[in-house]
Amino acid sequence: MFHAPPRVLLGPGPSDVPARVLLAMAQPTIGHLDPAFLQLMDGVRDKLRTVFATNNAMTFACSGTGSAGMEAMLANLIEPGDKILIGVNGVFGGRMVDCASRCGAVVEKIERPWGQVFTQEEIIEAVDRTRPALVALVNAETSTGAHQPFSKELGEAIHSRGALLLMDCVTSLGGAPVKVDEWGVDAAFSGTQKCLSCPPGLSPMTFGPRAMERLDARKTKVQSWYLDVAMLKSYWGQERVYHHTAPINMLYALDEALNIALEEGLEARFARHRAMHELLREGLSQLGIGYVSQEGFSLPMLNAISIPEGADDLAVRKRLLTEYSIEIGAGLGAFKGKAWRIGLMGNSATKRNVALVLAALGEILGR
């Protein structure tokens, strides 16, 4: 049997999974149409609605990782030739551009230097200029640590211009406010392995009434069979029409991860993430390490920081892993070799871990 080495997961995800979640997942597999399993799915759906702050009927866990959720969102809502405006200020906005163009969209981009966010004014200005059918923004840019604001006003402005608002909240869900209904978000996707501290393998998703109308009015079939929300709706809804075999044990795990999040309470959970972020920031500042994300817009759960002058990126991360069993993340794309990413997500966001990573970094950097 493979033996997983002990790790403290302080990278961009996965985060440390609580024993309760691992134990829930290790229960015997049952059938995907078993009455007990269907009841579990109903519970997962209800709890996901709470976490997404939405009443959307079509709220579910897509049977793939966060990237599958991205593709499900885009493939269902784009018809060939549709125009989509995508905010690109890091890897994950760029990924949506690639995916949307594979769905046949005409892609318009607004761009910002990596680490920065978009103002409401520039988003609305771009919508007025490009007249898209869809606007897609990343709430938590995992590659840069930047926290893109959403608001009721932004959602209303986009709707009043006839477009839908789509959101990537892979890294924020469960760790910072994600208010799907209040912000007027029409479709959103997330991942399980970030602030929900569940193993990777599912993508929590939600589609609002405007998005479902758009789906119903499609003239062409969704290009993906596996991710076709019209069919998934019949499985997750009361009809229970067989589509594919759900990843059963992964859903046991997600259910328990959601129980833990809701027992803590979302507001308390968000406050804990903010507090641990501030503690880390303070300690890093004493080590002379700053952030690459725009001031005032840092993600609490993902700290993208400058690699200090003279430090060897790979060697430091290797020592953290082998000497201290700590995983932190490398820089991605434009930040490769320039940034580290320290995640304090879900179960990993503790005083113990903040103290540990600061101590280890201090020792290795000799500061």
Interface residues for a second copy in 256-315 (CB under 8 A)? 256, 259
* Nearest-5° Cα angle at 188, 238 to 122: 150
Please tell me whether residue 16 binds a second copy under the rule CB under 8 A: yes
Residues 6+ apart with CB under 8 A from 185: 150, 155, 165, 166, 167, 179, 208
Residues constituting the chain? 367
Which residues, in sequence order, are CB contacts of 146 under 8 Å at separation 6+? 89, 90, 115, 116, 117, 293, 294, 297, 298, 299, 304
Give, in degrees to the nearest 5, the angle at Cα 55 between 50 and 59.
Answer: 75
Q: Per-residue contact track with a second copy, 195 to 214, x per CB under 8 A? A: ----xxx-------------
**Nearest in space to 139 (alpha carbons), one of 178, 85, 197, 94:** 178
Run of H or E including 25? helix 19-25
Region near a second copy per CB under 8 A, out of 100-108, 112-120, 173-181, 299-307: 100-108
> Least separation, in Å, of the C-beta of 16 and a second copy?
7
Number of chain residues interacting with a second copy (CB under 8 A): 72
CB of 27 or CB of 285, closer to a second copy: 27
One character per residue 26-65, x = contact with a second copy (rule: CB under 8 A): xxxxxxx-xxx---x--x-------------------xxx
Rounded to a whole number of angstroms, the minimum distance from the CB of residue 247 to a second copy is: 3
Dist CA 125 CA 200 (whole Å) = 37
Contact region with a second copy (CB under 8 A), list: 14-22, 160-168, 275-283, 350-358: 14-22
Q: Which of 6, 296, 310, 366 is the binder for a second copy (CB under 8 A)?
A: 6
Examine residue 224 and tell whether it contacts a second copy (CB under 8 A): yes
Q: How far apart are CA 213 and CA 281, in angstroms?
A: 44
Pick out residues in 165-194 that bind a second copy (CB under 8 A).
191, 193
E strand intervals along 119-229 = 134-138, 140-141, 146-147, 164-168, 187-189, 203-207
Asked if 360 touches a second copy (CB under 8 A), the answer is no
Residue with Cβ nearer a second copy (87 or 346): 346
In this chain, which of 243, 273, 277, 281 binds a second copy, going by CB under 8 A?
A: 243
| 67 scored as a contact of a second copy (CB under 8 A) | yes
**Which two structure tokens, joined as six digits, stand for 236?**
């997750």
- How far is it between the farthest Cα atoms of the chain? 63
Stretch that binds a second copy, among 98-106, 154-162, 206-214, 305-313 (CB under 8 A): 98-106
Residue range at the interface with a second copy (CB under 8 A); choices 115-123, 209-217, 255-263, 285-293: 255-263
Q: Which ranges of 29-180 does DSSP label H, i.e. alpha helix?
A: 35-52, 66-77, 91-102, 120-130, 152-160
Q: Is 30 or 334 the residue whose CB approaches a second copy more closely?
A: 30
Nearer to a second copy, 104 or 283 (CB): 104
User: First vs last Cα of the chain: how many Å apart?
Assistant: 41
Phi-psi region of 14 (alpha: psi -120 to 50; beta: other; left: phi over 0): beta
Q: Please give the residues from 113 up to 152 whose contact with a second copy meets the rule CB under 8 A.
A: none
Stretch that binds a second copy, among 17-25, 175-183, 295-303, 358-366 (CB under 8 A): 17-25
Q: Which is nearer to a second copy, 117 or 246 (CB)?
A: 246
Asked if 327 interacts with a second copy (CB under 8 A), we say yes
By CB under 8 A, which span of 53-61, 205-213, 240-248, 276-284 interacts with a second copy?
240-248
Which residue, 215, 240, 218, is CA-closest to 230?
215
Distance of CA 249 to the CA centre of its chain: 21
Q: Counting contacts by CB under 8 A, is residue 24 touching a second copy?
A: yes
